[in-house]
Structure formats: structure tokens, C-alpha cells
Amino acid sequence: MEVFELILVLMACVIVSAVIDQAVSRVSLPLIQIAIGFVVALLVPAAADIRVDSELFLVLFIAPLLYDEARKSSPMALWDNKGSIVSLAIGLVIATVLVVGFALNLLVPSIPLAAAFACGAALGPTDAAAVSALGSTVNLQRRQETLLSGEALINDASGVVSFQFAIAAAVTGAFSLVDATASFALLFFGGIAAGVVFGFIARELMSFVRRLGFESTAVHVVYQIFTPFIVFLVAEKLGVSGILAVVACGLVMGSRSKRLLSAASARHRMVSDAVWDVIVLLINGVLFVLLGMQLPWALRPTIEVGFPPMFLLICILVVTACVVATRFAWVFVMELRHRSSQTGERGCENRRAAAKRALVTTVAGPKGAVTLSIIMTIPVYVESGAAFPNRELIIFITAGTILCTLLLADILLPRLAPQQEEDIEAKVAAARIKVYEGVIGELEQQMAKSTRPEYAPATRLTIGQYRARLARERLSSAQNRETIEELMQGSIDAQERCSQELLEQGVCTADEMATYQTVLSSIRGSVGYIGSDRKMGSGFHGLGAGLFVRWRRFRKRGGYDEDTARIYYKAIKVAIILEDAAIEYLNDQANSSDNGIARRHSAAVLADEHRAVRDSLRGRIKTPDGRTMQENDVVRVAAGSARARGLDAHLTSGVTDGEADSARASALQLQTGMSYAERGTQFTQQYRSARQYADEVEEGALSIELDQIRQLLERGKIDENVAHQLREDVYVLQMNLAME
């Protein structure tokens, strides 16, 4: 398989896995990606033959992943837990090497003890990608997150070094504890020292470039992206651990002030974090897809040698049990000795709680692609020229153990550390709804009191955008989601029936149909309707109709000709009639005794929103003296459509069928005393004003949004964590607006 084809396959697998993850929320993303990689390897045999050099694997994937993890870590939190982290990253790795090595040698005597130790060394590191992917689906304590993150940052180096010593002993048949200890100390402490030095040099170099006045965000981001690769390669050339050098460099680069020194610093940080998020997402996806692709390759030679399938399964289960039991025992002892900084209580005083914390930390440390990349470097031959004993079996057992630890984490973690019933996302979603409602109300009040009519079109457009955001947020919120979705769909159905009646009664001619429906769709989109809800009536609207309308406007130098202005005026009036239809339906739901309190309340709230939309639409067709379309005609049109649908008989009191039909027809006529040419000029001016003042009005709306967040926080409606996330969203929108 060519490199280009491989990249396409990997990217397609990552995208497909993300889509499946959204649909199947009960299975973690790493397992989905492994399954997809396994299937691809079976369907495309060439994919299973992919080999990635271990050093290349570390520098391309693991180095940037650990660098980003390190720069986001809190040096203070890592330092506060330094003893536990070092214990897990070094002591536990050595213990795993010994336990797995002796157990595997006892289970399969044909595997030399040194080779079994190599398998244990490869299974020592936890996978940073797996930890980060699984950690977002459960409710881990802050100390547990810090331990897992710190362990993943360091134990790769200890695992690699232990593996190299074990392989050297297996290949040469000789091993020196003194030499191994000295080499380990050089690699470990030398890597940390080199990383600290490189980190300070990299940070000071970037500061020097900024002082020269060079503030390019693109260059800043590229500089950060290339830093882990350069640090890793230079450290390896110096004979120290490149992995630890990258981690130390990331900690130094990430230990920056939280306060902003300039707008350029804020822009650099925002863009850099966004780019790294994408990079980490791709790396995680590629790692686990590659892991899935390697499983058939590891399985095939093992079966060909003739090991019974049941024996292979027993080997995997025994090694997995050794890894998990060793980790649990180590972490449990560590938890018993730990003293809480909040209560001052030692873990041994509450053994049950300590055991539960230890079990969560144990299961939350699965093995992953790092382990597989290490074990794949087992040499094919020993120094004497003979084949490395049971190489395929060792690789297969390691791959099976990786899969078992991931399955354990996916199955047990949600039960051992379930998310809180009302997690932060639900709180943020509920708060967004309150904020959007407040912003819409404030903008409507400002527009009603404003003495600057030129701002009205832009304000109406901004209100429409907030209504669309509010509708999406309500549909994504778990609370009353089904009820609100039913009411919104019911109001759309009522509008659709009303639209069909108007079309049947000849709201416009066949020649005008494409223009009418395109304009009506645009109008509805500007007041908050999204997707198919924008479109009413038959299917004449679409890309062709839109191009046709724009071509006509282009021929009139960007303005509305008389025919288009007439149709636009009709479309606005139809949009008002459709809002009346939705209000009638929602009022019926709000006043029905058959509905529960929650449904009646939701219907009343939605009806108020449709009234506000209707009032906004009326404002678009004001006459020069400030009057809108005649109120009697609006009532008569609403009455006629209501009578035709059999809704609210009191609305049609005193109105005969003939009067209703004539009212509907007359309401679609121009009644303002302005010619259509004059009305077209007015529409063009409104369009230009909307574009001219859009940024200014949106800036004001974002300021209102921040004020709404502050008010909710002061009244105790939200906590500081929710307020922080809401403000962060507003800051991103402000930054995007400023960069346009």
C-alpha cells in the first residue's frame, strides 16, 4: 500500500470512528477505532502488512502527544504528587516487569526469562491516548487525573529503557545490573535535564522574536508544533531519553502566566490550543486504528505455529490478570499511605474508600499503541543467528493484553466512577438557554427604544441568529427535549398547512413561484428558522431559484426591481400569517387542560417567541409615518386560515367564509401608499444597513451576553465553572469577529 493510500485510509477511518462514536455513546472511541482498524485489515490485507519503525513511531506520534499533555498539565499539581507519580512511573513498571516475566516464563517455559521480562516491560507504560480518551467519559477525581496524566508522561521512558535492557539480555545472554542502573540514570535524569534546558531556550527564543516586533500567529503555531520533534531528535542524539526530554520541555513551555500580556498573546494561545486539539484528535485516531490493523498480523503467525486457540486465550487472560493485579496492589498500598490534603485523613483509616480509589486508578490505566510499538521492535534473530524464541507468541499475547485492558476500562470505569447525574455540560446547556433568552429580550427592548432606525435591520438579523442558537440549544438539552421538539414540530406543521392553503388560493402566480419561495425562505432564515423549517410550500425553491433571483437583482444593480419588491412584500406578509398560524397552535396547546403543566408552560414560552418574530417582521414593512400593515387585515387573514383548519372558532366570530377569503386576498395587496419601486428601494436600504451595522450590533450583543452571564452568576443561578465555559464561548466569538 502506497503512503498516500495509507493516509487516505487512516483519515477515513478516523472520520468514520468519530461518526460512530456520536451514534454509539456507550462504547469508548478507542475501541471503535481498534475495531475499524481490525475490519480494514481483514478487508484490505495490504493494510495489515504496514510496519512503522519504532523510533519513527515515537517521534511522529508519541512525542507530540506527550508534549501537548505536558504543556497542558499543571506543574504545581504534578509536583504536589511527585512521590506517587514517580512510584507509578518507575516502581510499578519494574514490578510489572518482574511479575509478568516470571508468570509468562512459568506458563510457557519455551519463552526465556529475559524475553518474558521484555514482554513485561512493554506492558509497563500506560497509554496517554487511551487515558485522555477514556478520562473524558467518567467522573475521575482531580488527584486521580493528575496521577494518570503524570504517570503517562514518565512511564514511557522507564518502559522503553527496561525493554531495551531485557532485549539486550535475551539477545546476548548477558546482563549487568550495575551497567543497567547507570544507563537508566543517564537516560532518565539526562532526558529531564536536557528537556528543561531546551524548554527554556525555546521559550526565550520566541520571546526574543516577539520583542523584535514579529507577532505572526502562524509562525508561532508552527514553532510550537515542530518543537517536540526537534527536542526528541536532539535528545536522542545526545544519548538521553527523548521522551522525557519532550515531557520536560512541554512542562517548561506550558508553565506560563495565566494573565494575558497582550492581545497578540491571547490570539497565539487561542489558535495554538485549537491547532493542538486537532493534532491530538488525529494522533489518537491514527494510533488506535493502526493498533487494530496490527492485530491480524500478530494473530496470523501465532496460529500458524500451532498453538491451540484455548491456550492462547489462557495466556492472554493470565498476563492480563498479572498486570491488573500488580497495578492494583501497588496503587492500593500507595492509597493507604496517602494523606488527604483536605481532611488530613490517611487512606488506611478508610480502607474501603482507598480500595475503590485504587480500583478506579488501576482500571483507568489501560495499555495502548505505545506498548504495541515497543513490542514490535523485538528482533527477529538473537546474536548467535538463531530465531528469537516465540517472538510471534509474545507479540500476540501483548496485543491481546492491550485489548483486554481497554475492554476492562470501557466496561468497569463507567460503573466504578459514573458521571454525576447533572454534569457540567447539562448545566452549561441550561445556562445558555437563559443567556440567549436574556440577550434576545434586551436586543428587542433596545430596538424598540432606539432613535437610530438604521440599526434596526442589523438588530433584527442578530436577533434571528440568537433565536436559531436558542432553538438548537433547546433541542439538544435533555430537559423537556421531547416535549419542546413535539411543540416545535407541531407549529411547523401548522405553518405548512397554512402555507399550502395560501398557495392553493393563489398567493402568487406560477411565474413568481421560484422568486416567492426563495425570498420567503430567506426571510424565515433571517428570523431564526434553520434547515428544512425555512422552506414552506412546494419544492420550487433551491439553488436554481436562488441564482435566478440574484441574477435579476444583479441586472438591477443589486437592488429590487418592481416585480421582486412586490413579491418580497407579499412574502413578508405571508411570513407574518405563518407566525399567526404557529401562535394559534401553541395557544391551543397552552390552554388545553389535557396537557401537563410542563407542556402548557413550554407552549406558552414558544408562543411568546413567535409573537416576537411576528412583531419583528411587521417592522420590516413600516410605512413612512411609522404604521405597520393594517391590524384588521392581520386578524382577518388569521381568522380565515383558522376557519379553514377548524381551529379556535372564536377568532372567526362575525366573519363569513367569503369575508375570510377576501380578507386573505386583500391582506396580500400593497396598502401603504408606497409604490413597489419605492418599496424596493426601502428593502435595498434595509439590506445594506443590515450588512453595514452587522458587526457593530453583534459586538453589542456579545457584550450583553457577558452581562447576562454576570447577572446569573451574581444571583447564584450558575456556578463559577459554568460561567467560565460560557464566557469562554463568548470570547471565542469576539475574537472571531475581531479577526474578520
Residue that wins the pLDDT comparison between 616 and 500: 500
What pLDDT sits at residue 84?
Answer: 87
Integer Cα distance of 305 and 301 in angstroms = 6
pLDDT in tens, 434-469: 898 899 888 888 888 877 777 877 787 788 788 877
What pLDDT sits at residue 543?
Answer: 47
What pLDDT sits at residue 321?
Answer: 95
Burial group, residue 452, by CB count within 10 angstroms (0-12, 13-18, 19+): exposed
Residue that wins the pLDDT comparison between 2 and 329: 329
Q: What is the mean pLDDT of residues 631-659?
A: 38
Confidence grade of residue 92 (pLDDT, cut at 50, 70, 90): very high
Whether 541 has a pLDDT exceeding 60, the answer reads: no
Q: What is the mean pLDDT of residues 409-432?
A: 75
Q: Which residue carries 442558537 as its cell?
A: 469
Question: Could you write out the three-class secondary structure of 124-175?
Answer: CCCCHHHHHHHHCCCCCCHHHHHHHHHHHHHHHHHHHHHHHHHHHHHHHCCC
Integer Cα distance of 410 and 327 in angstroms = 17
Considering the chain, what is the average pLDDT of its residues?
A: 76
What pLDDT sits at residue 304?
Answer: 56
Integer Cα distance of 150 and 400 in angstroms = 25
Confidence grade of residue 640 (pLDDT, cut at 50, 70, 90): very low
What pLDDT sits at residue 53?
Answer: 66
Cell (9 digits) for 402 = 492491550
What pLDDT sits at residue 572?
Answer: 82
Residues of the chain above pLDDT 90, percent? 9
Closest listed residue to residue 402, CA positions, set 331, 324, 327, 325: 324
Please, are residues 250 and 235 in contact by the beta-carbon 8 Å criterion? no
What pLDDT sits at residue 101?
Answer: 92
394-398, 460-464, 530-534: range with highest mean pLDDT: 394-398
What pLDDT sits at residue 737?
Answer: 72
Q: Which CATH class is domain 3-416?
A: mainly alpha
Whether 11 has a pLDDT exceeding 70, the answer reads: yes
Lowest mean pLDDT among 100-104, 215-219, 470-474, 637-641: 637-641
Integer Cα distance of 258 and 265 in angstroms = 11
Confidence grade of residue 152 (pLDDT, cut at 50, 70, 90): confident
What pLDDT sits at residue 303?
Answer: 58
What pLDDT sits at residue 103?
Answer: 93
What pLDDT sits at residue 326?
Answer: 95
SS3 685: helix
What pLDDT sits at residue 320?
Answer: 95
pLDDT in tens, 481-508: 778 888 888 888 898 888 888 887 777 7
What pLDDT sits at residue 611?
Answer: 84
Q: What is the mean pLDDT of residues 506-518?
A: 75
* CA-to-CA separations, 331 to 154, 347, 690, in angstroms, rounded: 16, 11, 62
- What's the Rg (C-alpha) of the chain? 33
Confidence grade of residue 663 (pLDDT, cut at 50, 70, 90): very low
Q: Which amino acid is at 611?
A: R
What pLDDT sits at residue 680?
Answer: 56
What pLDDT sits at residue 571?
Answer: 82
Burial group, residue 295, by CB count within 10 angstroms (0-12, 13-18, 19+): buried
Q: Which residue carries 450588512 as its cell?
A: 691
Most distant CA pair in the chain, distance: 107
What pLDDT sits at residue 683?
Answer: 61
What is the crossing angle of helices 142-172 and 113-122, to 10°? 150
What pLDDT sits at residue 661?
Answer: 43
Whether 522 has a pLDDT exceeding 50, the answer reads: yes
Q: What is the DSSP string of 605-649?
A: HHHHHHHHHHHHHHHTT--TTS--S-HHHHHHHHHHHHHHHT--G
Residue that wins the pLDDT comparison between 320 and 452: 320
Residue that wins the pLDDT comparison between 281 and 631: 281
* CA-to-CA separations, 166 to 305, 379, 388, in angstroms, rounded: 24, 12, 13
